[in-house]
Amino acid sequence: MANSLRDQLVQTGLADEKRARKVEKDKRAGSKKVRRGQAKGDDHAERDRRRRAEKAERDRQLEAQRQAERQRKESTAQIRQMIRDHRLEESGGEVAYQFTEGTKIRRIWVTPGQQKQLARGDIAVVAFGKGYELVPAETAEKIRERDPAVVLVHNAGSPGSGEDSDPYEEHPIPDDLMW
């Protein structure tokens, strides 16, 4: 009973020894191809082509990420340089100007003149390192083009908004108005 099917077929005469050895050899060769991944028409050239295409796609994605990182660093360096070159001198302000940064209320000390300029939109507050700086409105717009999150306060003044302009100039007071 321990005899294999091949041995039993050879003993009964239904198969000859030579043909049985050939079938067994073909079977072993087929299983080696399956282990190597060559079965079912999958040849080396096709796998190599696929591998090269996948590598090229990964390389393109990696290069795009590197390029975006270079642009981000370059933009950050430009912003830092603009703030250093155009920041207004701090002269020990005595008025606390409060503004929001995200969900927190922050405070910067300014002079009364700077407070009026902030209200009119002539100057802006920008984040610089761990602190805040005051810069002219033109500089704030250039910074905003590169990174809007850096400009924290920039009150857009209406054209012709100065201290002498009257916001109700277009609306005359009626003569018959009783107080």
Give the mean pLDDT of the chain.
Answer: 83
d(CA 79, CA 124): 14
In this prediction, residue 141 carries a pLDDT of 92
At residue 49, the pLDDT reads 92
* Interaxial angle between packed helices 44-86 and 137-146, expressed in degrees from 0 to 180 and rounded to the nearest 10: 170
Q: Which distant-in-sequence residues (6+ apart) come within 8 Å of 112 by Cβ?
A: 94, 95
Choose the most confident range, by mean pLDDT, from 8-22, 48-62, 154-168: 48-62
Determine the pLDDT at residue 126: 92
Contact 37, 51 (CB under 8 A): no
**Torsion 43-44-48-49 (CA) sign:** negative
- Residue 43: CA atoms inside 13 Å, Cβ hemisphere, count? 3
pLDDT in tens, 109-165: 898 888 898 889 899 999 888 888 899 999 999 999 998 888 998 887 544 445 566
What pLDDT sits at residue 124? Answer: 92
Please give the biggest Cα pair distance in the chain. 131
